[in-house]
Structure 1
Amino acid sequence: MLQRFFIFCSGADTQILETCSNGERNKYAGIGATVFFTAVMAFIASGYALYTVFDNVYIATFFGLIWGLLIFNLDRYIVSTIKKRDNFKGELLQAAPRIVLALIIAVVISKPLEMKIFEKEINQVLLEEKNAMTLDNKEQLALQYTPKIENLNQDIANLKSEVATKEAETNALYDTYISEAEGRAGTGLLGKGPVYKEKREKHDAALAELNTLKETNTGKIAAIETEIAALQTDYDTAVANSQPIIDGFDGLMARIDALGKLPWFPSFFIFLLFLAIETAPIIAKLMSPKGEYDFKFEEQESVVATWITQKVEQRKLLLATDGELNQQIYADIKNEEELYRYKKEKAEELLRLQADSFHKLQVKNL
């Protein structure tokens, strides 16, 4: 039962194989098993690759099965069409398109399994890339908010500097009128004279302006700090909203890119392994010697080709003979007087009928 299934997978003619030796049937069962297990590997690899894309086991299984059946049908078709002849170059040329296709399929099959084998290493590379992307993202977003925040902080500093300047000026006026009262400066007279009063009034006016300035600037600073807090909140919100996108940066393309950043040597040999698996049906058919099945299959093809050639030649001869006979028959008819007289009578009758019809038509019109 299993042997019959693998023979079916090889694409061989089961009727011819039944007349061959057991060793010949085992050879084609081995070729069919290679075709079958290549399709199984294609199903597993494509299923895993699609699972990383859709994250749904049912979708991945369905499309993986379709891909496996496609590879199975393709391998079975090509293996069955490679005919063993005494010309290895011709057989190799016939299999060349399939070998090129095997290179492509080997890459498609090997990459998903490489990603599974090196999953931990790929996750480490992705983690480093995500961290770098997070920092870059924060820096890029900061470029939108930092200049505004710095300008607002500078406005706060200017307001505070304005208050400090006014405060220093008021303190200087305070020291001036105190020194005047103590006789340490100005007129040098001890006591609160007219000069003292004048300087005291200047100080009091400056102090009132200072208090007003403090109140005004405090309100402005509070408004600016509110604006800064709002900008900081917007920045934090933008960072939080973009972080899930970075965290989700682990799709198929990202993993393939991360795999490419790992050492190439192990991945290369895994690729060679799958290339060998993928080309195994073709190589097995090419390397197998010409056996009993091949001779019988060639004989059957020769019988069919000979029979078709005979039929075509017979049809050609029949057509040529029929043409010659027709020419001879019509030539004999042409020389018969009875047929000539008969056709003459019919022609005369036709002319008379035409003349009568024309005459009736003319009389009717008159």
Structure 2
Amino acid sequence: MLKQFFILCSGADNKLLEGCSEGEQTKYIGIGATVFFTAVMAFIASAYALFTVFDSVYPALLFGLVWSLLIFNLDRFIVSTIRKRDKFGSEFLQATPRIILAIIIAIVISKPLEIKIFEKEINTVLLKEKNAMALENKKEVANYFKSDLDKNKAEIASLKADVTTKEQEVNTYYETYIAEAEGTAGTKKLGKGPVFKEKIAKHDLAKRELDSLQKNNLAKIAEKEQQSSLLQADLDKKLTETQPIIDGFDGLMARINALNKLPSIPSLFIMLLFLAIETSPIIAKLLSPKGEYDFKLEDLETALKATLTQDKYQRELLVKTSAAMHDKVYEDIAQDDNLYDLQRKKATELLELQAHNFVEKQKRTL
């Protein structure tokens, strides 16, 4: 059962191969097995590649199955259509387009498996890229809100500075009228005279202005701080909203780019391995000498070609002979009026016989 399956995979004629030796059958079983296992590798590679895209098992498996069947059909077609010839150059020229196609298939198959094999290293590269993207995103978002935050901070600082300046003014008035009362400055007269009363009045006025300024500025500062809190909340919200996008940066293209940043030698060897697997059936057919199966297949093809050539020649000769006979008959008829009726009858019979003969021959050909 397995033997017949691998022969089917090789694209060989099963009935024709049954009459060949065991060695010849083994050769095509090996070719069929290579085609089959290449399709299996294509299924694994494409299923994993689609899983990284959809994050779902069933679509990945379904597409992987379709892709593997496509690769299987292409490989089977490539192997089965290569014919052994007398010159290796002719064979190689015949196989060149198929080898190019096999190279393309090998590259397509190997890339997803490389991603899986180097998954840990790729995750490390992606982690570094995500961290860099997160820092850059935080910087961009902060720059977006920076002008409003800086404006609020400057206004709050200005309001606080006004209060501080007014407090210093009140303190200065306080020190002035105290010094006046103690007689250490101003008029230097001890006691609460007219100058003292004037200075304490200025202090009280400044104190009332300070109280009013503090009340107004504190309200404004509270409002500005609330606006700053809202801006900061918007900034944090923006960062929270964009972080999942950065965290989800691990799709197929991102992993391929990350793979390209790793050392290329290991990836090259893996690709060469799949290239060898994919082209091995073709190379085997090119390097192997003509076998029993090839001779039998060539015999069938040349026999059919000879039969078709012979039939074509006989039909052409029949047409030419019939035309010549008709020309001669009608030429004689035209020259002898007495034989007109007889010749017409005989010519009619002859044409009927030729027509029947041609139909029978055509039936035998079919």
TM over 0.5: yes
- Unaligned 5+ segments in structure 1 are 341-366
* Deviation sequence 1:101-150 (CA, Å, 0-9, x none): 22221121111111211111111111111111111111111011122111
Query: For 2:98 and 2:51, how far apart are their aligned partners in 1?
Result: 27
Query: For 2:106 and 2:225, how far apart are their aligned partners in 1?
Result: 62
* Structure 1 position 115 matched with structure 2 position 115: yes
| Aligned residue-pair number | 340
Amino acid at match of 2:311: K
Amino acid at match of 1:28: Y
Query: For 1:54 and 1:333, how far apart are their aligned partners in 2?
Result: 86
Q: What's the counterpart of residue 49 of structure 2? A: 49
Identity %: 62
Q: Equivalent residues in 2 for 1:285-324 (5 A)?
A: 285-324=285-324
- In angstroms, what is the RMSD of aligned CA positions? 1.9
Q: What's the counterpart of residue 249 of structure 2? A: 249
Shift in CA distance, 181/333, structure 1 to aligned 2, threshold 3 Å = farther
How far off is 1:321 after superposition?
2.9
Q: What's the counterpart of residue 31 of structure 2? A: 31
Q: Equivalent residues in 2 for 1:273-284 (5 A)?
A: 273-284=273-284
Normalised to the residue count of structure 2, the TM-score between the two structures is 0.88
* Deviation sequence 1:219-264 (CA, Å, 0-9, x none): 0000000000000000111111111111111111111111111111
Q: What's the counterpart of residue 219 of structure 1? A: 219
- Other structure's SS at 2:104 match: helix
Amino acid at match of 2:189: L
Q: Equivalent residues in 2 for 1:87-236 (5 A)?
A: 87-236=87-236
Q: What's the counterpart of residue 15 of structure 2? A: 15
Query: For 1:256 and 1:273, how far apart are their aligned partners in 2?
Result: 19
Query: For 2:107 and 2:38, how far apart are their aligned partners in 1?
Result: 14
Query: For 2:109 and 2:310, how far apart are their aligned partners in 1?
Result: 49
- Unaligned 5+ segments in structure 2 are 341-366
Amino acid at match of 1:71: I
* Structure 1 position 78 matched with structure 2 position 78: yes
Query: For 1:205 and 1:68, how far apart are their aligned partners in 2?
Result: 92
- Other structure's SS at 1:33 match: helix
* Deviation sequence 1:259-294 (CA, Å, 0-9, x none): 111111111111111111111111111111111111
How far off is 1:329 after superposition?
4.9
* Deviation sequence 1:142-185 (CA, Å, 0-9, x none): 01112211111111111111111111112112222222222222
* Deviation sequence 1:35-75 (CA, Å, 0-9, x none): 11111111111111111112222211111111111111111
Query: For 2:140 and 2:84, how far apart are their aligned partners in 1?
Result: 65
How far off is 1:326 after superposition?
4.2
- Other structure's SS at 1:141 match: helix
- Other structure's SS at 2:174 match: helix
Amino acid at match of 2:115: M
* Deviation sequence 1:170-219 (CA, Å, 0-9, x none): 21122222222222222222222222211121111111111111110000
